Homo-oligomer: A and B are copies of this chain.
Amino acid sequence: MSTAFTFNNHASDGAARCGEISTPHGKIATPAFMPVGTAATVKAMLPQTVRETGAEIILGNTYHLMLRPGAEEVAALGGLHAFMNWKGPILTDSGGYQVMSLAKLRKMSEEGVTFQSHIDGSTHELTPERSIEIQCLLGADIQMVFDECTPYPCEKEEARSSMELSMRWAGRSKAAFAEHGKSGQALFGIVQGGVHPDLREASAKALLELGFDGYAIGGLAVGEGQDLMLQTLNVTAPFLPEDRPRYLMGVGTPEDLILSVARGADMFDCVMPTRSGRHGQAFTWDGKVNLRNARYADDPRPLDETSGCPAARDYSRAYLHHLVKAREILGAMLVSWANVHFYQDLMARMRNAIREGCFESFAQETVARLNAGAGKET
């Protein structure tokens, strides 16, 4: 393990934590939301604009990048940071989730997965060793073990054997990282086990035995619903060490983030702010705003006149409605920007509430406000 990767927990408020991660490309205040830069771009946003929203780390997708432009190609161009002109830290996933959700004709074995590209049908293989090699070629500051994304729903025995395979792959990932990882880079383990508390416990203990720089909770936000997701987080977090960051993968809505921070999660990623942005769905403190709705055609109000984000502050809902209806690229640009800014603002306010010891009341008031606003938008 590196010496440069550190996590310091500066303040706690109940189970909620406020801290700081250090990486070779800079620091990350936690709880942190990582915008998703799937194909070496946070969609419809300049990297500089992403940074200006307050985002300190972004996520890159191993599956997408290995297929196009290719990990060796990115490495030859100086690595992912240089390639996409992002100067801050980058976390890459392992490719496991996308192989299951996007690729065709998968074939699983103890060794790994062979699959066909969703882009051109070409055949590829991902193993723990190759996943880590790719993440090292990309130059990710934080890398993830290669795991099998357990389907949901599934039988408990299927969840068990899938988790146990992922734990064996975690060991192989760690060995590969020891060989390829550079000083300061970090490797996170991923707790699996579906919605079964005993499997989650076994998975967490297996990972702790191996030892990682941080611990992710995987296999959630895959259709189990918010209640089961939070229950699983409840029963998993106590098995994770206090002195390592906890990353809840693929989560979520603003409410999901608040309720998960309340349960001790430190890091999140989700395509929601950018994907919703491209579809004209804006996040505001009064809930979601569907800009396609005709009610906004003559609405001179901005999304949030008090926002520090130009996209939320300087354009009327009527204009955004027009752009979305006319399928103008600027619509995707502005709403994605406003959404990523909103998510970062939410994280900053959560960090502040934790430091001030008022996280519980902040969480209750904010969730209530988000839901009250959402009721008006039908």
Binding site for B on A (CB under 8 A): 39-41, 43-46, 48, 68-69, 73, 76-78, 83-85, 278, 297-298, 300, 310, 314-316, 318-319, 322-323, 325-326, 328-330, 332-334
Given contacts A39-B322, A73-B297, 9 further A-B contacts (CB under 8 A): A41-B329, A46-B330, A48-B310, A69-B318, A77-B316, A77-B318, A83-B319, A85-B315, A333-B333
CB-based contact B297/A328 at 8 Å:
no
Expressed in whole angstroms, the minimum distance between the Cβ of A324 and any Cβ of chain B is 11
By a CB distance below 8 angstroms, the chain B residues around A323 are 40-41
Given the complex of chains A and B, what is the CA–CA distance between A41 and B330 in angstroms?
Answer: 7
CB-based contact A85/B314 at 8 Å:
yes
**Most chain B beta-carbon contacts within 10 A, residue among A77, A84, A300, A322:** A322
Chain B residue at smallest Cβ distance from A322? B69
Given the complex of chains A and B, what is the CA–CA distance between A316 and B76 in angstroms?
Answer: 12
Given the complex of chains A and B, what is the CA–CA distance between A318 and B328 in angstroms?
Answer: 26
By a CB distance below 8 angstroms, the chain B residues around A85 are 314-315, 319
Given the complex of chains A and B, what is the CA–CA distance between A360 and B326 in angstroms?
Answer: 43
CB-based contact A319/B77 at 8 Å:
yes
By a CB distance below 8 angstroms, the chain B residues around A316 are 77, 83
By a CB distance below 8 angstroms, the chain B residues around A83 are 316, 318-319, 322
Expressed in whole angstroms, the minimum distance between the Cβ of A311 and any Cβ of chain B is 9
CB-based contact A322/B40 at 8 Å:
yes
CB-based contact A39/B333 at 8 Å:
no
Given the complex of chains A and B, what is the CA–CA distance between A85 and B45 in angstroms?
Answer: 19
CB-based closest 9 A-B pairs: A44-B329, A41-B330, A69-B322, A39-B326, A41-B328, A77-B318, A85-B314, A83-B319, A85-B315
**Most chain B beta-carbon contacts within 10 A, residue among A68, A78, A318, A330:** A330
Given the complex of chains A and B, what is the CA–CA distance between A325 and B319 in angstroms?
Answer: 30
By a CB distance below 8 angstroms, the chain B residues around A314 are 85
11 A-B residue pairs with Cβ-Cβ distance under 8 Å, sorted by A, are A40-B319, A41-B323, A41-B328, A43-B330, A44-B330, A44-B333, A68-B322, A69-B318, A73-B297, A76-B298, A333-B333
CB-based contact B333/A300 at 8 Å:
no
CB-based contact A298/B77 at 8 Å:
yes
Chain B residue at smallest Cβ distance from A83? B319
CB-based contact A333/B322 at 8 Å:
no
By a CB distance below 8 angstroms, the chain B residues around A73 are 297-298, 318
By a CB distance below 8 angstroms, the chain B residues around A40 are 319, 322-323
By a CB distance below 8 angstroms, the chain B residues around A45 are 330
Q: Determine which of B43, B76, B297, B326 lies in contact with A329 in the assembled complex, contact meaning CB atoms within 8 Å.
A: B43
Given A44-B333, A69-B318, A39:B77 Cβ within 8 A: no
